Each structure stands twice: as structure tokens, then as C-alpha cells.
Copies of this chain bind each other. A is one copy, B any other.
Amino acid sequence: MKKYCYGTCFLISIAINILFSIYLYLGGGDRWVAKNPDITYGSPLTWTEKAAEEAEAVAAISCSGHGIAFLDGLISDGQPVCECYDCYGGTDCSELSPGCAADADSGDPIFLEPFWMQNAAASAVVIPGWHRMSYRYADDTLMSTELETYIRKLHSIVGNAITEGRYMVFGVGSSQLLSAAVYALSSENSSSPSNVVASIPFYPMYKSQTVLFNSENFQFEGDTNSWQSNNQTNNTDVIEFVTSPNNPDGELKKSVLGGKTIYDHAYFWPHFTPIPGPSDHDLMIFTLSKLTGHAGTRFGWAIIKDKDVYEKFLNYIFTADLGISKDTQLRVLKLLKVAIEQDGKPLFQFAYNKMRDRWDRLTSVLSKSTRFSTQNRHHLHCNFFNKTRLPSPAYVWVKCEREEDDDCGAVLEAGNIISRSGRVFSAKDRYTRLSLIKSQDDFELLLKRLTELVSLEKNSIETM
């Protein structure tokens, strides 16, 4: 019996060894396969293994949870260095710099970074060296049909925009689409330029782009309401920007003039606002940046009702830069496949929980203050989450209530908080914007500094 087992078990064991060896041998045939592109690839991995190993090695570099090492980071000792979040330093980002200012200036949507780390396997993408070298896709367009399909699916799941029977155009972030939209809506043949307006407080890019391009076709005319009171006749050519939810104050806005309108829906997602129903406007612009958090990817899309406007958009994108990166489009496709998993619940629940938690904690701190107030938030029914809830905007629009605090950004800065002053949004400096969408470290530091500021305020009240 024992002898029988020795023989049979040994043979089985050797057979398993051989099978494992074949497996490993095929997996290691990288170079051979690479020089023979016509062979049929099959599992196990061959030509992708090197790139996969590289990516895993870099992801394995420990940055203490206060930074990340990237594949294209600066190299030191043969591997990329940790890139630390604000206020952290040292080779492994473990050193907190004391007295460092809380930077709540930029709209960098790093609050979603942990979601993508948690979904590492589903969201990684391999780009082969020969991927989409052509200017065009098989259907002769500059846009991926598959990607367009997924964007339409996403809007249908979230219920935030009507896409049926509408055209779609991709751009380099929503930024490029903002200027494409102004171009597409402006009257080329008009002897006088179209007037571009937006309601204060507004995103500064509307103005800076129009001023930079300095086109004969359009000019920036500032605040919508001021423009309306100065131009009572309705025959003037005007293009109105409506940002909804608004940047900086999160308000769900509507067109004032009711004419040619560009709806900037960058923030119209369930993590920032209740979705009362699908937007159904002639021209709507969205961006990946505030949806999945991939600002660096520079990807946006416009949803367009009118065919002529659509064709002017296409012409703009074609002439400006022959379309947008195919590599980017492939990656966005991968990210959106994850975004629509389980009807979007994992992504939007994660994102909403983060934003709600930050607002709850911030509100709790500021409720003790009489010096600082924030925008009002009103309950609304959210069709996506199927409940009535408060908005949880990307930014806090802070007002300094004391009469002498007419530069609210400076007041915060004295408290070691960097914000974005009202004047940037063509508003008064009594207001300033705080970003709530940066990394968790950034948010914690902001909350700490705000708590300090408010407690100073209380102390001074108490000592009076």
C-alpha cells in the first residue's frame, strides 16, 4: 500500500510539476512573442506582463497613505518617488509639516481617488503600443462609438440628462467645449459680435477664454442681470452661460434670458446635488473631472439638440486639434464601465457619502460661528437615490458676516486657510470659495484650521 502510494503519488506529483513548468514557460515567452506579432496570443500572459509588473511595482511603493508614486514620476534609485499630498513630506510622505496652511483653493477632485484604488482590477487598462494609431476610428469619426454608448447609458441610469435623439461631441475636458459652444452659437455673419454673459458669481473660464480668443464673432459682456437691465430690447444677439449646479455656490440655476444658452452641468451628479429630473436643454456640457474625479484625463462631452450647432462643434474640434486622444478615450471607456456597474450605485454612493460626511462635519464646525456663514442648502427629491436630501456641493461659498471683514479670503488666509476669493468669480471679496473635493488629508486639515478660527472667535466673544 505504502509502496503503491509512493509510485502513483510520485507520478502524479511529477505530472503536476510538468504542467506548472509548461504554464510558466509559456508565460515567460515574452520576447519571442513580441517579435512575432502574427501568432495567436492566448492566456497565460505574454507581451503584457512587463507593463503589468511595472505598474504593480510602482503601486507597491509605500507613501504612508499621504501620497502616491506614479509610473511617470521622477526617478530616484531606479524607481519613482512618492508624490506627497499637501503638507506631507519625506521620502515616504510620513512627515507632516507643522503649521502648514490648509489649501482649499483648487477643484482637484481627489476625494474619489480611494474609490479607484478599491476598484483597482476593474479600472486598470492596458494600452498596447499599436493602439489606434490612426486619426480616425473605423466609422471615419474622431470619437469612439463604444464610449458614446456608455455615456448615454450612464445618463440614462443617473437620470440627469435626456440624450435620446441628441448629438454628442467629445472635447479636451469641458474647457474646450465651453469655447466650442460659444463659437457654435455665435453668429458668424453678424456685423456685430455676439454678447456672452453669465450670472455672478460665475466660473472665471467663461470670461478668460472669450478674452483670450478675442474673436470678432463674440465678446464677453459680464453679468447676465446687469446686461438685461441695460439692454431692454430683445433683438440683441446674446449667449448665456448657465452653470447648474453653480460653481462656486452650488445653486441649481436656470436661464435668465431664455435665448441661446450653454448649460454647464459639470457638477450635475448625485454626489453634489439631488437629481430632481433629467436636464432637457438644447446644449448641455458635462465633464469626467467632476463625475469620476479624473481631472487630469481632460475629457468632456456636449449633448446637442440642433444639427447645425452640432456640425459647428465638430468643425471646431477638428480644426482646433483634429479630435481628442484615442488613448484617453480608451481609458475613459474603462472608467465608465466601472461607473455604471450595479446601476451606478457603488460609485455614486461612495462619492455621495464622502461629500455628505464632509458637509456634516463642516456644518457642525461653522454652526458655532457667527463670523462665517455658507450658502443655504434646501432639501430636494433626488430621483437617483430615490429620497429627499440636501445638496452636498463641491464648494463652500463662505460669507464673512462682520462688516470689517470685507476681504473674506484674507480673513481665512490669516487663519492659515487658502481659499479662492470672490473676485475670481466676479463677486465681492466678502465671499470666498473653499473646495471640499480634495484629498481626505486636505479636508482634515481644513476642518482643523476652521475649528481653530471659530474657536478663536468664541474665545473672543467669551472674553468680551
Contacts and interface: CB of A to CB of B under 8 A. Distances in A.
A315 B57 CA distance: 36
Contact of A135 (B108, B119, B179, B335): B108
A72 B37 contact: no
A126 interface: yes
A13 B6 contact: no
B60 A52 contact: no
Interface string A190-220: 0000000000000001001100111111000
A17 B10 contact: no
20 contacts: A17-B17, A17-B20, A20-B20, A34-B121, A34-B122, A45-B53, A71-B125, A116-B130, A124-B128, A125-B126, A134-B295, A175-B320, A175-B321, A175-B322, A212-B319, A212-B320, A295-B322, A296-B325, A297-B325, A328-B328
The interface size bin for chain A is 35 or more
A225 interface: no
A259 B322 CA distance: 29
Contacts of A9: 10
A119 B51 CA distance: 12
Nearest to A130: B116
Given A112-B133, A113-B133, A49 B45 contact: yes
A328 B173 CA distance: 13
A451 interface: no
A85 B9 CA distance: 54
Most buried by B among A49, A72, A173: A72
B125 A49 contact: no
A134 B118 contact: no
A65 B38 contact: yes
Given A108-B136, A298-B326, 17 more contacts: A31-B121, A33-B120, A34-B121, A48-B121, A51-B121, A71-B131, A108-B134, A120-B128, A123-B129, A133-B294, A172-B324, A213-B213, A214-B217, A297-B326, A297-B327, A298-B322, A328-B328
A110 B125 contact: no
A250 interface: no
B13 A17 contact: yes
A324 to B, nearest CB: 6
A256 interface: no
B124 A129 contact: yes
